Structure 1
Amino acid sequence: MRFRPLTAVLPLAAVLAGCSGDLSVLDPAGPSSQAIAGLWWAMLAGAVGLFTLIMMLLYIVFFAPRLVENVTPKQWIGWGGLAMPIPVLLALLAYAFVQGEKLFGAEALEPAVTVTATSRMWGWDFVYEQDGNQINSQDVLHIPVGQPVRILTTSTDVIHSFWVPRLGGKIDAIPGQTTSIVLRADVEGTFGGICAEYCGEGHSAMNFRVQAHSVENFQNTLRTLQQ
């Protein structure tokens, strides 16, 4: 049977294509999303490492049994079930704590701008404050590039969830409560946002856009919306 390079490359290309895109958490555009993507890759590396070790042991058991014929069941459990995975899991736990400190601890971003995001069936209303005035936009969130933005979320009806995959994690929008998340975009552009909590038959269309402007263009955009 002839080996066809194209046949081998196509599945790999399909997998790698899923690592980018408007709603991909593996195509980060800000520090919060970079921390989340880094944790994902670390967990993948740990899973691959453990899987490789297990496959090596399985290969030895089937094809070189003499190498392990003196290994007792207790030794299999102790070394294979505990000693082998524990270092990997502890390393992943430590890495997760480091990333969590960046997202929520003392190293968390201090917001320069605050925006209120109110969810409703099936859309989003955003409110900004400038010079003591409230400015509104629907289904498009405007933010300045390079500046942390605190998003205060709530809901007028049922529980929704605010999520911009390329900029950070998600936060539930709960009726009668206010929850918050801090995001920062490091590049100008448009990013996709979705409701990540099933909220009814219109859930699939409850999307919004995040437009990251330069600081000057952000201020000009707010002035335009105010008119």
Structure 2
Amino acid sequence: MKRAAVILSSALLQSGCGGVQSALNAQGPSSAALKALIIVIVAVCVVVWIAVMIVLVAALLRRRDARAVPDHVLHRPVMAAVAATVVVVAALTVVSFQATRRLAPDENAAVTIRVRAQQWWWQFDYEDADPARAFRTANEIHIPVGKTVRVTLESADVIHSFWVPSLAGKQDLIPGRHNVLTFRADRPGIYRGQCAEFCGLQHAHMAFLVIAEEPEAYDRWVQVQRAGAVEPENPEASAGKTVFMTRQCAACHTIRGTQATGTTGPDLTHVGGRRTIAAGLLDNTRGSIAAWIADPQTLKPGNNMPLVPLPAEELRQVSAYMEGLK
């Protein structure tokens, strides 16, 4: 346990999930429409607040006895305020409707991804007309810059919410229902996404990354993802593969091209090429992988990965194997 604690402390020092996460850093048409809506609403609220403050100060400074003022004169400001409220609310409703139209599904999307949310990680299936060209990954998606991406959303357990503030608005993932969201990235970058609906103990640790890259780079990434797992290049990693296949790991995880075909946990075929592990909890380093395997419940209490006791040597071997799956 002392060794696990040392590894855990080292991993936590390295932890973090990079990427931009701000609705004001709009990098696509959907997020730009929502940003404009935010600015309009804030501006209108500021003007209304200033107007109310002016009227309040004027009323406080007024010396005249209100009882001497005719009723119809007193009613004029009230009627004006009611009329102004109706106009403002109606205008904001129209503006909001126009903004949300930009989030409507696009059937002509270049990329279609089926997103399945689980407590507390994300499964991403890249769909294709040819099933042999489809593939699965987890907690990190790549998209081509300038191309519309269509995501179909579903949940395996409770209500979650898919939100990439820099690229699109929120959309819920509801058990038994399929929702759809489309978005586009206009420039390359790493954008952080997050579950935006409280979904349990580790809701705050349910993040993912969207990597927007030029179409050529995206195509290269897709070719790598469609291939099976690479074979270990050194004896330590080869021994780690043996440990993985003979322990409980292979019953919960899939590594394409091997005998591991479990579906309970994330697909690990190319886990070594991802930037983070545990849904954005830790940077993807060998130390972090070892810490996660050694004691996942300390790092992320309540998650569904059981503790698999491994001797120190086997822990090193498995972490070497995981690191090499790129």
Same fold (TM over 0.5): yes
Q: Does the Cα contact within 8 Å between 2:148 and 2:184 map onto a contact in 1?
A: yes
If the length of structure 1 is used for normalisation, what is the TM-score?
0.81
Aligned to 1:187: 187
Is 2:114–2:127's contact at 8 Å kept on the other side of the alignment? no
Partner letter of residue 52 of structure 2? I
Tell me which residue corresponds to 2:79: 78
1:115 aligns with 2:113: yes
Range moving further from structure 2, 50-59 or 84-93: 84-93
Q: Give ranges in structure 1 of 5+ residues lacking alignment.
A: 1-20
Matches of residues 93-132 of structure 1 in structure 2 within 5 Å? 93-104=93-104, 110-129=108-127, 132=130
Instruction: Name the aligned partner's letter for residue 24 of structure 1.
Output: S
Query: Deviation per CA, 1:105-130, whole angstroms, max 9, x where unpaired?
Result: 8xx68422111111112111111135
Alignment-derived partner of residue 44 in structure 2: 46
Q: Take 2:47 and 2:30, find their aligned partners in 1: how far apart are those partners?
A: 26
The CA deviation string for residues 50-92 of structure 1, in whole angstroms up to 9 with x for no partner, is 11111111121122445x8747442232123x13333322322
1:221 and 1:70, CA in 2 relative to 1: closer, same or farther beyond 3 A? same
Which runs of no fewer than 5 residues in structure 2 stay unpaired? 1-18, 228-326
* Aligned sequence identity (%): 33
Q: Distance in 2 between matches of 1:54 and 1:198?
A: 36
CA shift in 2, pair 1:61/1:131, >3 Å: closer
Contact 2:103 2:183 (8 Å CA) reproduced:
no
The alignment partner of 2:150 has SS state of strand
Q: CA deviation at 1:176?
A: 2.8
Equivalent residues, number: 204
After TM superposition, give the deviation of residue 139 of structure 1 in Å.
0.4
CA distance in 2: counterparts of 1:171 and 1:27, whole angstroms:
19
**Distance in 1 separating the partners of 2:193 and 2:44:** 30
Amino acid at match of 1:103: L
Amino acid at match of 1:101: R
- Write the distance in 1 (CA, Å) between the matches of 2:51 and 2:37: 21
Residue of structure 2 in register with 1:37 after alignment: 35
Which residue is equivalent to 1:63?
A: 61
Question: Considering only aligned residues, what root-mean-square deviation do their CA atoms show, in Å?
Answer: 2.3
CA distance in 1, matches of 2:70, 2:144: 62
User: Cα offset for 1:101?
Assistant: 2.8
Greater Cα radius of gyration, structure 1 or 2: 2
Q: Residues 74-223 of structure 1 correspond to what in structure 2 (within 5 A)?
A: 74-80=75-81, 82-104=82-104, 110-129=108-127, 132=130, 133-223=133-223
How far is the alpha carbon of 1:158 from its aligned partner?
Answer: 1.8
- Secondary structure class of the residue paired with 2:79: helix
**Counterpart of 1:104 in 2: which secondary structure?**
coil
Aligned residues of 2:120 and 2:205 also touching (Cα < 8 A): yes
Would you tell me which structure has more strand in proportion to its own residues? Answer: 1
Give per-residue Cα distances to partners, 1:118-146, cap 9 Å, x unaligned: 11121111111357222122100111111
Partner amino acid, structure 1, of 2:23: V
Q: Provide closer, same or farther for how the CA distance between residues 74 and 179 of structure 1 changes in structure 2, counting only shifts above 3 A.
A: same
